[in-house]
Structure 1
Amino acid sequence: MARQKEPQKPVRVRAPTIPQTTERIIQPINKGLNKILNIIRLVIGVCFQLSILAGFTSCERFLDCFGDVVDYFFSFIQFF
């Protein structure tokens, strides 16, 4: 006698829930924003250290340095 196959149960595929979907969307955005924030922190830290090394303790000189770095950055981006 031949064996009868048992009927297979249908496989249920669960649709991703809303939190999983939003996490997939938001996670790369967060990574990109974190990189941008790290660059900004680095620029602020470098400008602060340069203003201290140059002997300027005023906030105005720090802002001048920061503005120069931002100008160089945007001119670098426009180059490409």
Structure 2
Amino acid sequence: MENEEILRQFEEIEQKVEKLIELCQSLKADNAQLINKINRLEHELQEKADVEKGHAEEKAFIRSKIDNLLVRLKDITEVS
């Protein structure tokens, strides 16, 4: 009788360990997917930051050109 109880307990433990192993494998797969998603999103974010930086530089360049033109116009109107 004791042997049967011990065997039953071992079977229960074995089933629980198998479930834990399956859960661990599932979590590893989920983790790998999340890591890939993080890497993809970080790459997209960097691309957007680069584009935004380019736009800011372009805006500054345009502002500089406009300021130069305004100065030239002011000089022309003062001479007239």
Q: Normalization by structure 1: what TM-score?
A: 0.48
Between structure 1 and structure 2, the one with the greater Rg is 2
Q: Normalization by structure 2: what TM-score?
A: 0.48
| Higher-helix-fraction structure | 2
- Bigger relative contact order, structure 1 or 2 (CA pairs below 8 A, ≥6 apart): 1
